[in-house]
Amino acid sequence: MRQYHYHQSVGTTSSVGSSLLALLKMRCRRVFFLVVCVLAVVVLLSVLNGHKMISSHVSVLMSDANRNVANAHEGIRNFLSQQLPNQPQTQADPQTGGPNEKTASQEQIPNRNIPPADHIIWPNLNQSALSITSTTPIPQSHSTAKLKDGASNGPVAKPQSAQPLTPSKQQCSPRRNIVFFKMHKCSSSTVQNILFRYGEKNDLDFVIPPAGNYLGHSPFNKRFMLKLPTREYNILCYHTRFSATGMAEVMPKDSVYVSILREPVAMYESMFTYTKYEAIYHLNAPNPLKQFLESPRKYYDLHGGKDHAKNPMLFDFGLENHQKDDQFFIDNMIEKLDKRFDLVMMTEYFHESLILFKELMCWTMDDIVYFTLNARSKSSVLRDITPKMKEQIKQWNLGDLKLYNHFNKTFWQKVRDFGEERMKREITELIERNEQLYKYCIAKVSDNDGKVWHPPGVKVESLQLKPSAKNDPQCAAMARTELPYTALLVKKMKSKYHLR
């Protein structure tokens, strides 16, 4: 019985102990949970506090960095202000993206210094195009002024071939395959003559019209050209509308693509006058261009002749008439052209353009000497373009304005990459070579030569050789205009391939 009682006591004690133990465990679990929660809160607060400290440190570092950058910019501005002359500031026109007319008209073209990367060059439209094309002073109209003033027109010793002033940094081979997209009224006939002479001298094959001087008036197609028994040609440089696909069918894959643009106001005046839009639109005012610009949409919508009456440069590049007011098509066109063309030259900076072209093609200075061809005489250039008319032309041709501004920037970046001092040296050499050849070859400039084609009522200058230079092949080639040169090239290529 004792033992039983003992066992019973042990059993009761064991039951109470188990209950106490269970209660203790439960309390411990609560305490443990509370401790864990407290620790978690402590850790979280520490992390948050640390994040604030890190943020604080980052803010301090960013503030210091911004101050350093600002100080650096200030130092650069101070340095540049000591090194460069003060330039007038041009305010941007919010509508066109170009300079404000009031400030731009007061500025002179930066003929001495290469402009900054984001600067838009606006030529002084009161000067003739080729008289403002270089970074050095240019003699008036290739010495024609001296000849007209009674300077000797007698025989002059022919200058020797030029030696390169600055050898290329690395050896290169002259490039022979080129698409020069000939833009209307942009000094493109002068560039074309350079290509004619190079191709003739090196016996190259031209994409050439079978008659006349146009490769069609629609986007280029090989059906418009003289067929030769060759799969690929070397030079395409005639008026047409641009078609990357069509041109790629006849030109080698390694062809260089080059074109030239002109400031839209000057280009539009020249195109308007040359195309005789006063007759197409039945304009009878003393100043037909002014009359047209007062209501351009009225004349444009009611009459034909739309192709070059609005955004003519974009039209030549392939933009259709119904796309000329659509910003999407304009931007898309400019983007495609930027990817396709290796160089877009600027008429207002013709010498810089030719030097860049020479470098791109790995040609010599003698390959790019030139006489100005197919230029209107001064009496056929409309001079009374008011500031209001200039602004109206820009507004009417906003697509061409955007095109010009885009490639003007890329052009000056190429000039900077070439080197300003090197550019000045090579322009000086080119001008000297042109002057020497002009004095040797040219007797006078005429604007009534019946052998030179020109629109009715528009006088076009032509060059007449000195008797002593008439048998000089270089003089004859440099003064030869497009139509007679085309006839000569067609004859030579037919003879080369035994065609009738």
Spatial CB neighbours of 323, under 8 Å, sequence gap ≥ 6: 329, 330
Provide the residue type at 17 as one letter: G
Spatial CB neighbours of 180, under 8 Å, sequence gap ≥ 6: 188, 191, 192, 195, 235, 236, 237, 258, 259
pLDDT of the residue at 459: 72
Phi, psi of 463, rounded to the nearest 5 degrees:
-105, 135
Spatial CB neighbours of 243, under 8 Å, sequence gap ≥ 6: 219, 220, 221, 318
Please give the Cα distance from 416 to 412 (Å, whole number): 6
Q: Are 341 and 179 in contact (CB under 8 A)?
A: no
pLDDT of the residue at 114: 52
First to last CA, the chain: 145
Spatial CB neighbours of 228, under 8 Å, sequence gap ≥ 6: 205, 493, 497, 499
Residues of the chain with pLDDT under 50: 1-17, 20, 24, 47-48, 50-113, 116-152, 166-169
Tokens of 72: 């650096």
pLDDT of the residue at 268: 96
Please tell me whether residue 370 adopts helix, strand or coil conformation. Answer: coil
HSE-up of residue 46 (Cα within 13 Å, Cβ side):
6
Spatial CB neighbours of 313, under 8 Å, sequence gap ≥ 6: 183, 184, 186, 261, 262, 264, 267, 400, 403, 404
pLDDT of the residue at 95: 37
